[in-house]
Structure 1
Amino acid sequence: MIKELRLKNWKSFADATLYIDPLTLLIGTNASGKSNALDALLFLHRLASGGYIFDAINGNGDTKLQALRGGIEWVCLKPHRQFTLEVLADGVEANQDCRYVLTVQVNQLNVELIAESLTLLTYESVGGLLPKEKDIFRYNSKDGGGGNNLCLLSSFASIPSLDGILTLNLGSALSLNQTKTFFEKDALVNINYVLAQLKQIFIFDPIPSHIRDDSPLSKKLNTDGSNIAGVLAALEPSRKEEVEATLTNYFKSLPESDIKRVWAETIGRFNSDAMLYCEEGWGEAASHEIDARGMSDGSLRYLAIVTALLTREKGSLLVIEEVDNGLHPSRAHLLLEMLRTLGKERGVDVIVTTHNPALLDAAGGKMLPFITVAHRDGKTGVSQLIQLEDVNQLPKLMASGSLGKLSTEGRIEAALKREDAQ
Structure 2
Amino acid sequence: MITRLHLKNFKNFRDATLKLGPLTVLVGTNASGKSNLRDAFRFIHGMSRGYNLPEVFGERYTEGVLQWKGIRGGTREVAYRGSNSFQIETTVLVPAEGAERGSPNRDRFSHSVAVGISPDNGPAHITEECLLSNRRPELVYKFRRSNASSEPHSPQGFLVRVPGDAGNGIEQLRFPDSQSVLCQLERHDKVPDLEKKALAAYRHHLESMRFLDPSPEAMRRTSFPGQVVLGDRGENLSSVIHAICEDREKRHALAEWINELTPQDVVDFDFVPDQTGKILLSLVESNGQRTSAYSASDGTLRFLALIAAILGPDAAGFYFLEELDNGIHPTRLYLLLQLIEQYAKQGKVQVVATTHSPQMLAMLSEEAREHASLVYRLGTEPEGRICRIMDIPKTREVLEEHNLARLGNLEKRLSDWLARN
TM-score, normalised to structure 1's length? 0.82
The secondary structure found in structure 2 opposite 1:99 is: strand
2:102 paired residue number:
none
Instruction: Report how far residue 189 of structure 1 moved.
Output: 0.8
Check the 8 A contact 1:112/1:149 in 2, yes or no.
no
Of stretches 139-148 and 248-257 in structure 1, the one that deviates more from structure 2 is 139-148
Check the 8 A contact 1:26/1:354 in 2, yes or no.
yes
Instruction: Report how far residue 175 of structure 1 moved.
Output: 10
Instruction: Report how far residue 80 of structure 1 moved.
Output: 0.9
2:100 paired residue number:
none
What are the within-5 Å matches in structure 2 for residues 15-94 of structure 1? 15-60=15-60, 63-64=65-66, 65-91=68-94, 93=96, 94=105
2:235 paired residue number:
226
1:405 paired residue number:
405
Question: 1:14, 1:72 → 2: CA distance?
Answer: 16
| C-alpha distance after superposition, 1:133-180 (max 9, x if no partner) | 421111122555441699x9xx99xxxxx99x9x89535998999xx9
What are the within-5 Å matches in structure 2 for residues 148-163 of structure 1? none
Code of the residue aligned with 1:187 in structure 2: it is E
| C-alpha distance after superposition, 1:340-365 (max 9, x if no partner) | 11333461011111123542222265
Residue 43 to residue 262, structure 1, CA distance change in 2 (3 Å) = farther
Residue 213 to residue 407, structure 1, CA distance change in 2 (3 Å) = same
1:96 paired residue number:
107
1:191 paired residue number:
199
2:124 paired residue number:
111
Check the 8 A contact 2:228/2:236 in 1, yes or no.
no
| C-alpha distance after superposition, 1:318-360 (max 9, x if no partner) | 1101111111111122121111113334610111111235422
Question: 1:287, 1:227 → 2: CA distance?
Answer: 25
What are the within-5 Å matches in structure 2 for residues 270-419 of structure 1? 270-271=276-277, 273-281=278-286, 286-311=287-312, 316-345=317-346, 347-363=348-364, 365=366, 367-378=368-379, 380-395=381-396, 402=402, 404-408=404-408, 411-419=409-417
Instruction: Report how far residue 262 of structure 1 moved.
Output: 3.0
Unaligned runs of 5+ in 2: 97-104, 182-187
Instruction: Report how far residue 233 of structure 1 moved.
Output: 3.5
1:268 to 257, 267, 274: 274
Residue 12 to residue 301, structure 1, CA distance change in 2 (3 Å) = same
Residue 346 to residue 76, structure 1, CA distance change in 2 (3 Å) = same
Question: 1:403, 1:56 → 2: CA distance?
Answer: 44
Check the 8 A contact 1:58/1:67 in 2, yes or no.
yes
Unaligned runs of 5+ in 1: 123-131, 157-161
1:141 paired residue number:
145
RMSD, aligned α-carbons: 3.6
Check the 8 A contact 1:245/1:262 in 2, yes or no.
no
The secondary structure found in structure 1 opposite 2:362 is: helix
**What is the identity percentage for the equivalent residue pairs of Structure 1 and Structure 2?**
23
| C-alpha distance after superposition, 1:233-290 (max 9, x if no partner) | 357x844x44433322221201112111235x3623452x221111124xxxx32112
Check the 8 A contact 1:113/1:149 in 2, yes or no.
no
The secondary structure found in structure 1 opposite 2:31 is: coil
Code of the residue aligned with 1:170 in structure 2: it is R
The secondary structure found in structure 2 opposite 1:89 is: strand
Question: 1:56, 1:102 → 2: CA distance?
Answer: 14
Residue 121 to residue 419, structure 1, CA distance change in 2 (3 Å) = farther
